Chains A and B, each alone.
Chain A
Amino acid sequence: GAGVSQSPSNKVTEKGKDVELRCDPISGHTALYWYRQSLGQGLEFLIYFQGNSAPDKSGLPSDRFSAERTGGSVSTLTIQRTQQEDSAVYLCASSPGPVSQETQYFGPGTRLLVL
C-alpha cells in the first residue's frame, strides 16, 4: 500500500516569507508526527497529532511554527516569517494509533532552504 507522502519534496524561499508543508499519512493511521532534521541538531520532535487534536506541541521551536490536521488525515505544517535557521529537512511520520509500542512510518521529507 501507499506510504507516507510529503509535498513539496524541496522548497526554496526567501527569509521572511511563509511556507506550508504538507503530509499525507498512511490511510487509517490516526497518529501523526512532525520532526525536523538539521545538521548539528539531529532529529527533533515538533508536534504530535491524535486524530485532529494535537496533545503535544512541546517541540515547536517558536510561535512562528504551527500545524493543523483536518479530517483525521492530511496535516499541514506552517512556518511564518521564515528564518535561515529554519533550513532543514522536515519529516512526517504516522502510526496506526496512539499506543506507544507502535512503529512510526516516515515520509521522504521536505527539504526547506531559506535564503
Chain B
Amino acid sequence: AQSVAQPEDQVNVAEGNPLTVKCTYSVSGNPYLFWYVQYPNRGLQFLLKYITGDNLVKGSYGFEAEFNKSQTSFHLKKPSALVSDSALYFCAVRETPGSARQLTFGSGTQLTVLP
C-alpha cells in the first residue's frame, strides 16, 4: 500500500527567507512523487514530480524538491519565499510497479509567507 505523510499542518516563513515543506512516503516498490499547490477556491495545480534520475527536481515558480530514498522523503523547497506563495501544498505518491493508477495524497500543509 502507498501512503504519504506531511508532518506539518502549518508552516510560517518570512518573505525572502528559504522555505521547506516536508513530505515522507511509504511504498512497497519505487515511488513516483508529486507536489501540487492549491489556492483558495481553486483546484490543484501541478508543481513538480520525481520519476527517476536526478534526485533534485526543479519545478514551477522557483520551487524544487529533493528525493531522498534512504530517508523516504521528498521535501519541497524554495530559496526565497514570496507572499504570493501562501497556499495549501500537497505531496502525493504513486508506487511502481503497481496496479493502482490513483495518487495518494498527504493531508496538506498550509504555507503562510509573512511580509
Residues on A lying within 8 angstroms of B by beta carbon are 4, 6, 31, 33, 35, 42-43, 45, 48, 50, 55-56, 59, 91, 93, 98, 100-101, 103-109, 111
Contacts and interface: CB of A to CB of B under 8 A. Distances in A.
A5 to B, nearest CB: 10
B43 A91 contact: yes
B110 interface: no
Contacts of A111: 41
Contacts of A45: 102-104
Task: Classify chain B: how many residues form its interface, as a range.
Answer: 20 to 34
Nearest to A103: B46
B43 A109 contact: yes
A56 B100 contact: yes
What 3 A-B pairs have minimum CB-CB distances, sorted nearest first?
A: A45-B102, A43-B105, A106-B43
B101 A56 contact: yes
Contact of A103 (B43, B49, B105, B108): B49
* Residues of A contacting B: mostly: strand
B45 A100 contact: no
Nearest to B34: A103
Contacts of B90: 43
B46 A42 contact: no
Contacts of A59: 102
B105 A106 contact: no
A31 B43 contact: no
